[in-house]
Amino acid sequence: MRKHSMTLVASVLVGLSGCGGSDYGPVTGRWSLTLQPAGQSATHPDAVTVDRVVLNETNGVVNGRSDAFTFSGRRSGNQLELTVLSPDPSGTAVEHSFLKLSLQGDGTVRGSGYTPQPQVSPSAESGRLENAARLDYDVSGRLALPLSSGEAGAAIGQPNVGGAASDIVHTVCSIFSAAESFAMGYLTGNLYRPMGGCILAQSGGGYYVFGREAAGSLLPVWTQNVYVPVEWAPCTERQYKFKFSYKGQAFLTSGVEFIANSKHGPNYLPGLDMLKVGGKSLTDLAVELDDLRRKYGNYALLVAKHSRTGFMGLYVIRERGSSDEFKNEAVIKTLAGNLHASVKVGKEITDTFGLRRGPAPKVCLDQVEFSYLIGSADVTLD
């Protein structure tokens, strides 16, 4: 009889383990997960640790959240399969990455993951190669804090776990506040005018921190923005394709208005000097800017810099006319020369940047910084 009872207990335990029982340790709690390139150790330079991963298991069904990412999946025995989701521009959660983990029984997990990579065409100028179809990586982690199902559910239900997506904003805004942005240092005497306030605008695998419209402000000259890639992956590099499109006429249209609005902040005047040809006056500059509008329609001068590589690009968005002719205008050649910038001209312009990305922007911080200098056109950033 005792032997039969022990056999029954063993059968129950086996059944529980097959249904996500507790013999492999709890899933519900706050986890610390490390992502590293496939085949590498957790100490690899591109490895990144995410400390605020909250998971909640109910009858084998698992959901969770970490910063801007959410999780959905199942547990079967010691196997944990999770889909990582991120919001698209409409706010709808879409599949982003996939994890397959094994619970080790000592409060740790090991496994692998992959993130599908969008295909990016090579840059016409650099001939850079296309991305692979997916990025594979290894995952290790530990249960940092066991939680009750109620506690985990409450944390997951919050828009941001422990500061979450707002960390992206605070990190980048602190860069601007510390006067480390190229746009301020080169052009504005360490002052700044964010394009749309300190808000997140999701685009592709990252965020425009100050909205996606340029100039995008009640002060439609000398506004700045920054794009930060944030993806669930190790801190490795991938190619991001950007598109800058003519949207329509801006609030200001004349050279005199551009200069008058620049004078509202005296520290912006050094930026105007970068456009002046041969030591001409501000009045001469206003006339030249008006001549550009008569020849090419509404236009905008947008400058971008990739902080890590130091690349500087001058994007001239124009309503009509010849791109090659506009590129050879004296004002454009003077500005490009003073900034040591590569020039592209068109109604719609694309360019590609290799950016390091990861789920922890404070660790994997890479960025492209933008400044809308002057112009009579509004521009959409994508």
CATH of the domain at 150: 2.40.128
Same domain, 260 and 235: yes
> Coil, strand or helix: which one is 258?
helix
Same domain, 234 and 346: yes
Last residue of a domain, one of 157, 180, 200: 157
Same domain, 29 and 56: yes
Same domain, 265 and 141: no
| Alpha-carbon gap, residue 96 to 116, rounded angstroms | 7
Residue 8 lies in a domain: no
| Alpha-carbon gap, residue 38 to 132, rounded angstroms | 14
Same domain, 100 and 170: no
Same domain, 103 and 171: no
| Alpha-carbon gap, residue 252 to 247, rounded angstroms | 14
Domain count, the chain: 2
Nearest of 90, 88, 382, 89 to residue 245 by alpha carbon: 382
User: Are 195 and 372 a contacting pair, CB within 8 Å?
Assistant: yes
Residue 259 lies in a domain: yes
**pLDDT at residue 162, rounded to an integer:** 38
pLDDT tens, position by position, 207-247: 888 888 999 987 788 888 888 888 889 998 988 999 999 99
User: Are 303 and 313 a contacting pair, CB within 8 Å?
Assistant: yes
Residue 138 lies in a domain: yes
Q: What does each C-alpha distance from 361 to 67, 108, 154, 271, 349 come to in angstroms? A: 10, 24, 24, 30, 27
CB < 8 Å & 24+ apart, contacts of 205-208: 205/118, 205/229, 205/230, 205/231, 205/238, 205/240, 205/357, 206/230, 206/231, 206/240, 206/355, 206/357, 207/168, 208/381
User: Cβ–Cβ contacts within 10 Å for residue 208, how many?
Assistant: 26
Q: Which domain covers residue 128, as residue numbers?
A: 24-157
Q: Name beta bridge partners: 87.
A: 93
Q: Name beta bridge partners: 314.
A: 303, 343
Return the DSSP state at 277. S
Last residue of a domain, one of 98, 131, 157: 157
Mean pLDDT score, 5-21:
36
Strand order in the sheet with 201-203: 201-203, 206-208, 223-229, 368-375, 299-306, 312-318, 342-346
Nearest of 214, 168, 208 to residue 193 by alpha carbon: 214
pLDDT tens, position by position, 140-185: 999 999 999 999 999 888 654 334 455 556 666 665 555 445 555 5
| Alpha-carbon gap, residue 224 to 204, rounded angstroms | 20
Same domain, 78 and 105: yes
Lowest-confidence range among 75-79, 81-85, 139-143, 174-178? Answer: 174-178
User: Are 78 and 24 a contacting pair, CB within 8 Å?
Assistant: yes
Nearest of 172, 50, 183 to residue 109 by alpha carbon: 50
**pLDDT at residue 69, rounded to an integer:** 85
Residue 6 lies in a domain: no
Same domain, 152 and 173: no
| Alpha-carbon gap, residue 172 to 107, rounded angstroms | 34
User: Are 46 and 36 a contacting pair, CB within 8 Å?
Assistant: yes
pLDDT above 90 (res 107): yes
Nearest of 116, 120, 89, 118 to residue 351 by alpha carbon: 120
User: Cβ–Cβ contacts within 10 Å for residue 347, how many?
Assistant: 17
Same domain, 224 and 122: no
Same domain, 137 and 170: no
**pLDDT at residue 1, rounded to an integer:** 42
pLDDT tens, position by position, 263-295: 766 666 777 888 999 878 999 999 999 999 999
Choose from 207-221, 338-352, 354-368 the range with maximum mean pLDDT: 338-352
Last residue of a domain, one of 105, 138, 157: 157
